Amino acid sequence: MDPPSSGSSQQSSSAVSEDDVTGLGGNTPQPPTESDPMDDGLLDRIRSSVRGIPDFPIEGIMFRDISPVLAEPGLLSSITERLVQDLNELGWHPDVVVGPEARGFIFGPLLADRLGCGFVPVRKPGKLPSTTIRVEYELEYGSNTLEIHDDAIKEGQRAVIVDDLLATGGTISACARLCEELGATVIGSVFLIELEGLGAREAIAPVEAHALISYPA
């Protein structure tokens, strides 16, 4: 995921890699209703498990650490089931799930398995062994590059992108471009956490986004 700007104090971030996210081209998907008390309980469990670490990796950034979420028995499974439910309610029925390294590799394969479709990894240069295509995208300071195998997605397939956190949208936008270059349609993106106020949804438009919980940036 991409790091949010370090200009404001105590901004939230989940990592300084490539994060991103989803955007909606003006059509913000309405989140599924949360009338079921069990659903509310799940979201409360996630919020209570996410750990905020101030001034990491640099001063002024509030890092949202999901390590305690992964360490709690059964929580990752419950999150996956909730994402499946939400995707069905949103009408997003993918042929493939696409996830960027590193935390997209945690949620992506589990979600793909539950949905009965394949998982496609997106990686930094030099990590994928076969022929790839690549996209370079801009960060606040410098640029980054992501790659995907050139035979990973078939033309006409529908893709959903999944990652742990949506911040500025750079990584997700790059993933969407890779999918589209292979002829796929990106029907949406899903996240555990969204950092609000960083313009991610506008950055990734027209790709739509859905997150289970959010924090102010």
Write the pLDDT tens digit of every residue in 122-150.
999 999 999 999 999 987 667 899 999 99
What pLDDT is attached to residue 139?
Answer: 75
Signed CA dihedral, 70, 15, 62, 78: sign only = negative
Q: Yes or no: say if 179 and 199 are a contact pair by the CB < 8 Å rule.
A: no
- Helix ranges restricted to H, the chain: 37-49, 67-71, 75-90, 104-115, 170-181, 200-204
pLDDT at 178 over 90: yes
pLDDT at 11 over 90: no
- Which position has the higher pLDDT, 40 or 205? 205
Provide mean pLDDT across the span 174-197.
97
Catalytically active residues are: 103, 140
- Which position has the higher pLDDT, 2 or 81? 81
Q: How far is CA 88 from each of CA 67, 83, 150, 214, rounded to the nearest angstrom?
A: 27, 9, 29, 21
What pLDDT is attached to residue 184?
Answer: 98
pLDDT at 43 over 70: yes
The number of beta carbons lying within 10 Å of the beta carbon of residue 180 is: 15
pLDDT at 33 over 90: no
**Domains located in the chain, CATH noted:** 11-27+35-216 (3.40.50.2020)
Phi and psi angles of residue 12, each rounded to the nearest 5 degrees, phi first: -95, 145
pLDDT category, 7, cuts 50, 70, 90? very low
Which of 133, 143, 195 is CA-nearest to residue 169? 195
- Which position has the higher pLDDT, 126 or 26? 126
pLDDT at 15 over 50: no
pLDDT at 23 over 90: no
Q: Yes or no: say if 172 and 151 are a contact pair by the CB < 8 Å rule.
A: no
pLDDT in tens, 70-127: 999 999 999 999 999 999 999 999 999 999 999 999 999 999 999 999 999 999 999 9
pLDDT category, 32, cuts 50, 70, 90? very low
Q: How far is CA 207 from each of CA 41, 140, 159, rounded to the nearest angstrom?
A: 29, 21, 11
Which of 104, 47, 103, 96 is CA-nearest to residue 75? 47
pLDDT at 205 over 50: yes
pLDDT at 36 over 50: no
Q: What's the one-letter identity of residue 121? A: P
What pLDDT is attached to residue 3?
Answer: 47
Q: Is 148 exposed, middle or buried (0-12, 13-18, 19+ CB in 10 A)?
A: buried
Q: How far is CA 146 from each of CA 90, 108, 154, 193, rounded to the nearest angstrom?
A: 28, 17, 19, 22
pLDDT category, 27, cuts 50, 70, 90? very low
pLDDT at 209 over 90: yes
Mean pLDDT of the chain: 86
